[in-house]
């Protein structure tokens, strides 16, 4: 059982985080091919160790299992299945001090966290798993806020380069890779999300069978976004690299046809629900 208790310990109250943000804001803005950064030894060592100790194995909890040509991974967004330190850490990632850190680092004001963890939570990839290049969905499916920032905390001790699993950041045409981030222990990756911010780890993991690629994923939103970034409403957009292609009628329907229809339907239902609620209150 962990001796770390975050109930009365507020990690991001430490002024070093705002200083870290101020010192790295220019580096973030100049990230290639889009604004991004990675920061090593981000959490206090005992907190990072405690979260790793709690991280559930593939058979320990009820994971959502993605298994298709564009992504092979396990995801859990149910915080009741998180360990106590992990659960409290997620709350602190949603706190005002962390939002202030993010805003100072990225230059994006009025960021809003997502306690629903849509697409986020615990991520785990076994040997052979992958996540092809993609740009993330750009609107939250419940709040319809605009997705602006991805935050990924890696928890992989003794991770070697030959295992792969790099977070790769590619240009909008997926012609070249601007940066590759190895998912080593207690490394935080942060990047701006738009309809052109293609990223992933597109090659199958080559780690030993008894190892997995572990991460915590959190996403941050604003109410609106710059006009130059607006590109309608879309779900995840997968894109192939120059030497690969995706095939299959079902994949093409799922990528190009179903998501826009589902998005429009969900939005209409949501708007009608709010309209009826307002009318009843009136």
Residues 39-72 pLDDT 10s:
999 999 999 999 999 999 999 999 999 998 899 9
211 Cβ contact partners less than 8 Å away, ≥ 6 residues apart: 127, 156, 163
145 Cβ contact partners less than 8 Å away, ≥ 6 residues apart: 112, 139, 221, 222, 223
Considering only 124-133, 168-177, 236-245, which range has the smallest mean pLDDT? 236-245
* The predicted structure's pLDDT at residue 3: 86
- Average pLDDT rounded to a whole number, residues 25-47: 98
Name the band, by pLDDT with cuts 50, 70 and 90, for residue 245.
confident
* The predicted structure's pLDDT at residue 210: 96
* The predicted structure's pLDDT at residue 233: 85
Asked whether the CA dihedral 133, 134, 135, 136 is positive or negative, the reply is negative
Name the band, by pLDDT with cuts 50, 70 and 90, for residue 114.
very high
Indicate the SS3 state at residue 181. Answer: strand
Name the band, by pLDDT with cuts 50, 70 and 90, for residue 273.
low
C-alpha 243/C-alpha 221 separation (Å) is: 34
The tens digit of pLDDT for each residue in 149-198 reads 999 999 999 999 999 999 999 999 999 999 999 999 999 999 999 999 99
* The predicted structure's pLDDT at residue 234: 85
Name the band, by pLDDT with cuts 50, 70 and 90, for residue 277.
low
Name the band, by pLDDT with cuts 50, 70 and 90, for residue 119.
very high
| pLDDT, averaged across the chain | 90
C-alpha 251/C-alpha 261 separation (Å) is: 15
Name the band, by pLDDT with cuts 50, 70 and 90, for residue 243.
confident
* The predicted structure's pLDDT at residue 223: 96
* The predicted structure's pLDDT at residue 267: 55
* The predicted structure's pLDDT at residue 136: 94
- Average pLDDT rounded to a whole number, residues 113-118: 97
Query: Beta strand 146-154 with 130-135: parallel, antiparallel or unpaired?
Result: unpaired
Tokens 């879309």 belong to which residue?
Answer: 234
C-alpha 136/C-alpha 139 separation (Å) is: 9
* The predicted structure's pLDDT at residue 154: 98
């Amino acid at each position: 059982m962990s001796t770390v208790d975050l109930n009365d310990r507020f990690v991001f109250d430490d002024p070093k985080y705002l200083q870290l943000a101020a010192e790295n804001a220019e580096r973030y803005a100049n990230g290639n091919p889009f604004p991004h950064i990675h920061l090593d030894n981000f959490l206090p060592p005992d907190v990072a160790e405690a979260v790793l100790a709690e991280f559930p194995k593939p058979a320990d909890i009820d994971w959502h299992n993605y298994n298709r040509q564009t992504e092979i991974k396990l995801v859990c967004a149910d915080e009741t299945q998180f360990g106590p330190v992990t659960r409290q850490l997620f709350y602190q990632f949603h706190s005002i001090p962390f939002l202030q850190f993010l805003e100072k680092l990225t230059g994006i004001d009025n960021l809003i966290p997502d306690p629903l963890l849509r697409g986020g939570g615990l991520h785990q990839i076994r040997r052979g798993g992958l996540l092809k290049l993609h740009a993330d969905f750009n609107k939250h499916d419940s709040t319809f806020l605009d997705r602006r920032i991805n935050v990924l905390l890696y928890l992989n001790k003794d991770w070697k380069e030959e295992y792969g699993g790099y977070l790769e950041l590619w240009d909008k045409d997926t012609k070249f890779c601007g940066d590759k981030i190895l998912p080593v222990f207690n490394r935080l990756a942060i990047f701006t999300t738009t309809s052109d911010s293609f990223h992933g780890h597109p090659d199958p993991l080559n780690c030993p069978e008894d190892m997995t690629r572990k991460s915590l994923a959190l996403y941050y939103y604003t109410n609106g976004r710059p006009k130059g970034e607006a590109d309608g409403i879309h779900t995840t957009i997968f894109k192939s690299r120059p030497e690969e292609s995706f095939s299959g009628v079902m994949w093409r329907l799922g990528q190009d046809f179903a998501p826009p229809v589902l998005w429009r339907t969900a939005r209409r239902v949501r708007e009608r629900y709010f309209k009826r609620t307002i009318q009843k209150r009136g």
